A = this chain, B = another copy of it.
Amino acid sequence: MSGTIDLTDRVLYRFWHKENLRFSDTDMIGHVNNVAFAALLESGRTAYTHGGHFPRFPAGCQVVMARVEIDYRMELHWPNAVDIGTSLLRVGNSSFMLGQGIFRGADCVTTGRTVLVLIDKATRRSAPLPADYRAALLREITDPPVPATPVP
């Protein structure tokens, strides 16, 4: 289903986060290292899930990553800044999937899909999404936030 979603299209994203590239993000190949992209995606993702609009995690619960897929589409070089777009793509029974794109101006440099699982903080085991939380997540798909940053 999410296979038909074009993660390289800026129009998909409602939540935007801007990040500078740091010199330490580069590697000996001379470009931004792939590990830095994982940090950038996480930075955009946590800005979204911990920002004001996203439904608060149920009491006693938090989310941890179950899976990430990252497609590297272009090399990126320092110095630079990027826009990171994030949208909720799917909601499961105990997890949900976010889609992301890292853009440098008009170019989509990298895209990613992340599956986050709700876990009980104490037992560290996955927990089913409570019905009201699941409903709030589904509204996030059908009624997403107004873009925090206007789509450039």
Binding site for B on A (CB under 8 A): 17-20, 22-24, 26-31, 33-36, 38-40, 42-43, 46-47, 50, 62, 64-72, 75, 78-79, 124
Contact = CB atoms under 8 A, between A and B. Distances in A.
B34 A38 contact: yes
A24 B64 CA distance: 13
Contacts of A33: 23-24, 26, 42
B124 A47 contact: no
A73 to B, nearest CB: 8
Pick from A20, A35, A42, A71 the residue with the most CB of B within 10 Å.
A35
A68 B69 contact: yes
Contacts of A27: 23-24, 26-28
Nearest to A27: B26
A24 B19 contact: no
Contacts of A124: 75
B23 A46 contact: yes
B72 A69 contact: no
A14 to B, nearest CB: 19
A22 B43 CA distance: 5
B28 A34 contact: no
Contacts of A68: 34, 68-70, 72
